[in-house]
Amino acid sequence: MPAHPDTASYTEIQENRFRHVTEHPLSTFSVDVDTASYANVRRFLNEGRLPPIDAVRIEELVNYFKYDYPAPRADTPVSITTEVAPCPWNAKHRLALVGLRATPIKQERTPPRNLTFLLDVSGSMMPENRLPLIKTAMRMLVDTLRGEDRVSIVVYAGSSGIVLHPTRGDRKATINSAIADLRAGGSTNGAAGIELAYNLASENFVKDGINRVILATDGDFNVGVTSRDALMRMIEEKRERGIFLSVLGVGDNNLKDSTMEMLADKGNGNYSYLDSLQEARRVLIAEAGSTLVTVAKDVKLQIEFNPKFVGAYRLVGYENRLLRKEDFNNDRKDAGEMGAGHTVTALYELVPAGEDVPSGAVDPLKYQQTVDPPVRTIANNSSELMNIKVRYKAPDGEASKLLEFPVPDAAPRMTANVGFAGAVAEFGMLLRKSAFKGSASYQHALSLAREHRGDDTDGYRAELIRLIDLASALDVRNTSSRDLQR
């Protein structure tokens, strides 16, 4: 148990509800490339505790894993994959998978990197799983740097300062010496540190390269922040100039999860949580392409469902990524980014036309009744189940491009992709105690994950299986404890 009071904070999540296709034919959202929630959930389970409900963002659990999607064509940076299967937790429903994959990049073709590390060295960063973990991870990254790369280090606590001016990546001894000298202590002035880091990144901007500020913190911005709005405006302004912000979260009892997710979102970056050195290696080295090299920005999806086949639908997760339908064609509306080789997976639970929508899952209309059977147009008399549109911009572009992909209706079939993604989603719904979990169980999620584990060279899928088994045991223990207290 933590030695200090638990002041970690998570944004409350109101789960997506079922929506009638006749009333809401379009589902629009921004892609999500964050994986912090999965690593944080893993940390809780390894500590012998079930995570707080709002620490579980199902889309981040699903997207922690790579799926077997084809590479994009040469003329587009993103490919689209769709699969439809029986829904694992409701036999009357279907589960539709929409998968995107970004163009991969070889390590030797990575553009020059201008990386500015902004490190929280306040007193809360002293424990081994905070600043010491970050320092070890940075030394691992240093081993991969090249002469054309540049690294800077800015620290903030009671005051902010530069501890390493821009240094060539092949001057490894100089960089490692600066890392070794880092010490934690003092209060936190995050806003001043961010401003200094951005100024340094701007002064050393690399045209056609990677220009990124990497913030490592437990999220405790509790001293000297001018205002939340001013901070957001600064981050948004810098992203428009080509300097993106990624966030590495560490720690436990002090974790400000909601703040870190928001900063990365506004900064066109991604938010990762480092619960171990292994996770740090995954984020900064093994998957550095998807972490640091953006190939498509402001990526949005809009799915239109055909009422001939779909009566209602529910997007599983992505609650804080939803967009208005009008936002899809608005190039001024910010959305998510995709890194080189990154995959993004979204799952929809579909209620076939004519089936009852789960009780209480759709708010009744006040002034009219839902049309039943739905009115059919010439378009929805087609054989298409749904139509998928994707908008994206080039990393340095201002105008979006459109991809469109109609999906024909076909008999549902459980494939390796949707089978494993479905197992992860089922696990997430159980952890969230979701109102929509239906017949979900840990044993079923475990069986599904084992059946569709597939190629697992990095061992991440085997780890998920272990975590499902562990969560099941913890849930049984909690239930038994509650029963004894009655």
Q: Quote the pLDDT of residue 368.
A: 52
Question: Looking at per-residue confidence, does 226 or 209 come out higher?
Answer: 209
Whether 419 and 320 have beta carbons less than 8 Å apart is answered as no
Q: Is the pLDDT of residue 224 over 50?
A: no
What tokens does 403 get?
């991809």
**Cβ neighbourhood burial of 404 (10 Å; 0-12, 13-18, 19+):** exposed
Beta strand 160-168 with 271-273: parallel, antiparallel or unpaired? unpaired
Question: Looking at per-residue confidence, does 181 or 367 come out higher?
Answer: 181
Q: How many CB atoms lie within 10 A of CB 77?
A: 22
Q: Quote the pLDDT of residue 221.
A: 67
Q: Name the pLDDT band for 293 (thresholds 50, 70, 90).
A: confident
Question: Looking at per-residue confidence, does 241 or 287 come out higher?
Answer: 241
Q: Is the pLDDT of residue 3 over 80?
A: no
- What tens digit of pLDDT does each residue of 227-261 get? 778 888 889 999 989 999 999 999 887 788 888 88
Whose structure tokens read 């699969």? 83
CA-CA distance, 214 to 293, in Å (whole number)?
Answer: 13
Average pLDDT over residues 102-126: 88
Q: Quote the pLDDT of residue 178.
A: 94
Counted residue by residue, the chain has a size of: 486
Q: Is the pLDDT of residue 222 over 70?
A: no
CA-CA distance, 421 to 232, in Å (whole number)?
Answer: 33
Q: Name the pLDDT band for 2 (thresholds 50, 70, 90).
A: very low
Cα separations (Å) of 34 from 27, 59, 218, 239, 379?
21, 9, 16, 17, 36
Q: Quote the pLDDT of residue 109.
A: 80
- What tens digit of pLDDT does each residue of 329-387 get? 999 999 989 988 889 999 999 999 999 888 655 555 555 555 555 555 555 568 999 99
Q: Quote the pLDDT of residue 379.
A: 58
Q: Which domains does the chain have, with CATH numbers?
A: 19-105+295-356+380-440 (2.60.40.1230), 112-292 (3.40.50.410)
Q: How many CB atoms lie within 10 A of CB 457?
A: 6
Nearest Cα to 285, choosing from 127, 458, 99? 458
Average pLDDT over residues 300-312: 96
Q: Quote the pLDDT of residue 194.
A: 86
Whole-number mean pLDDT of the chain? Answer: 89
Q: Quote the pLDDT of residue 481.
A: 59
Q: Is the pLDDT of residue 226 over 60?
A: no
Give the least confident one: 102-106, 298-302, 334-338. 102-106
Question: Looking at per-residue confidence, does 419 or 159 come out higher?
Answer: 419
- What tens digit of pLDDT does each residue of 43-78 get? 999 999 999 999 999 999 999 999 999 999 888 999
Q: Quote the pLDDT of residue 147.
A: 94
Give the least confident one: 31-35, 189-193, 445-449, 455-459. 189-193
CA-CA distance, 265 to 274, in Å (whole number)?
Answer: 18
Whose structure tokens read 């694992």? 88
Give the least confident one: 4-8, 340-344, 452-456. 4-8
Q: Quote the pLDDT of residue 324.
A: 95
Q: Quote the pLDDT of residue 223.
A: 42
Give the least confident one: 253-257, 308-312, 338-342, 452-456. 253-257
Q: Quote the pLDDT of residue 360.
A: 53
